[in-house]
Amino acid sequence: MSDVIDMNEQRKQQGDWKKYTRGGIGLVVILLLIGLVLNNLFIVKEGEYKVIRQFGEVVNVVQEPGLNFKIPFIQTVSTLPKYQMVLDVPQAEINTRDKKRMLVDNYAIWKIVDAKSMISNARTVIGAETRMEEFIYSILRSELGSLNYDEIINDEKSSRGSLNDRVTEMVNELLEKNNYGIVVTDVRMKRTDLPTENEESVYRRMISERESKAQEYLSMGDAEKNRITAQTDREVKETLAKAKADAEVIRGQGEAEAARVYNESFSKDPAFYNLYRTLESYKVTIDGETVIMLPADSPYARLLMGYTQ
């Protein structure tokens, strides 16, 4: 009887073990399925492209933000930037139209507009930047080669304002023609320098030009000074001549008035007038050392001796 009970207990334990084993396997399978689903879900964020490849070939590009799913084991997902990027173009040496060498340092702002075309023709972001560098250098060399050195560096004669726009437009034409799927927003020159061996000669030429300009300004100043001085001298002479003429007129009027007064006074009392004129003449003719010899009947002698008749 005890043997029968032991066999039943053993069979019961075996049944429970099989039940638990099937449950565990089912749970593992469910977890594996959940992990598989989660592993093949991907999120597309703002400012990025998600590129889906199947056996290495691009089959889809997702650019709208949201949750997406890829086929397990067959498809892979990579990311490309959708926002604008800055490409710092390496410094390059350019020859100008007047055979001057210069170093040009510039940058470009660009973005991917067609991820599939970019991957097909440029492969990677680095490949796209390499192609842009080549196009920018080629166009800058052509454009700056048609300008003289002073037209590039001289702010008064600079053509760089429109040059940047022309370079941007021409680079985009080449990118579109080759279907690279990228657009350059702007190309700008940060700096233009001279090779070290050319700097000294250019500095000397610049100093010479500035000295020449300074001398020109000094000559213009001297000429203006001489013109103003001559004009002032002429105005002074004209003023003095007018003043002198006015003085002569006033003096003549005064002398005429004085003569009229003298004549009027003389006509009223001739004797007094003669006496006044005689006394006035004494101021001129007589001083402390004067010796006068007069006839006894002279008017001077008569007046000195007190004779009035």
Same domain, 257 and 229: yes
Same domain, 257 and 280: no
129 found inside a domain:
yes
Same domain, 117 and 50: no
> Which of 111, 110, 88 minimizes the C-alpha distance to 190?
88
Residues of the chain with pLDDT under 50: 4, 155-157
299 found inside a domain:
yes
201 found inside a domain:
no
Same domain, 166 and 247: no
Using alpha carbons, list the distances in angstroms from residue 92 to 29, 204, 254, 266: 61, 24, 92, 110
The C-alpha torsion from 156 through 159 and 164 to 166, rounded to 10°, is 160
pLDDT of residue 16: 57
In the chain, the number of structural domains is 5
pLDDT of residue 186: 92
Same domain, 183 and 247: no
Distance CA(145)–CA(291), nearest Å, equals 107
pLDDT of residue 156: 44
> Which of 112, 264, 80, 102 minimizes the C-alpha distance to 183?
112
Same domain, 242 and 284: no
Same domain, 255 and 277: no
Same domain, 138 and 186: yes
pLDDT of residue 257: 84
Same domain, 142 and 154: yes
203 found inside a domain:
no
Same domain, 92 and 104: yes
User: What's the whole-model pTM score?
Assistant: 0.54
pLDDT of residue 173: 93
Same domain, 221 and 261: yes
126 found inside a domain:
yes
Distance CA(165)–CA(261), nearest Å, equals 95
pLDDT of residue 252: 87
Range of the domain at 295: 272-309
pLDDT of residue 143: 87
Distance CA(30)–CA(26), nearest Å, equals 6
pLDDT of residue 170: 93
199 found inside a domain:
no
Same domain, 121 and 177: yes
Q: CB neighbours (10 Å) of residue 119? A: 22
32 found inside a domain:
yes
70 found inside a domain:
yes
pLDDT of residue 110: 95
| The last residue of a domain, from among 194, 224, 248 | 194
Helix 115-122 vs helix 125-144: crossing angle, to nearest 10: 80
| The last residue of a domain, from among 16, 51, 78 | 78
